[in-house]
Amino acid sequence: MQPKAKKKAAELAGELPAELTQARRFGKTRSAQSGALLEDYVELIDDLLTSNGEARPTDVARRLGVSHATAIKTIARLKRAGLATGRPYRGVFLTQEGQKLAARVRMRHRLVVDILLALGVPAEAAEADAEGIEHHVSDATLRAFAQFLESRVPS
């Protein structure tokens, strides 16, 4: 058996993966979790700007189910990260970088929803589940999702 195949067989048998492999996996998850919050805010702010013409911290807090203080604190993080700006009495606006991130997050979300729907997951569950999955899925997996969905479309 090849060394790589041996490692895979050991993992499938319940043995722990190599320390560095496992650390890399957990590190990826921690990184995704810290970015997920900002991505959710950017996506929602973009949605509010598109539908209402404004994104007030109060609306952001209500829609995310967090306190006003939490929304203000996270919006301040977005501003420090160069993803958002604010205008007194005008709410929050996305910078060009924030708009690019919102578009990427929306594309990932849509792709994850579409793959879940293709698997037969009910629409409401697919939308809810995509909210978590979209932040943790790799670019390689997203490409595989897209290829799978494209292969199902009749020519």
pLDDT means over runs of 10, the chain (155 residues): 61 73 67 77 96 94 95 95 89 96 94 96 94 87 94 76
pTM above 0.85, yes or no: no
Virtual CA dihedral for 59, 60, 61, 63, nearest 10 degrees? 80
| SS3 state at 92 | strand
Report the C-alpha gap between 62 and 80 in whole angstroms: 22
Strand partners, 91: 87
Domains identified in the chain and CATH numbers: 21-150 (1.10.10.10)
Please give the structure tokens belonging to residue 36: 């997920």
Amino acid at 123: A
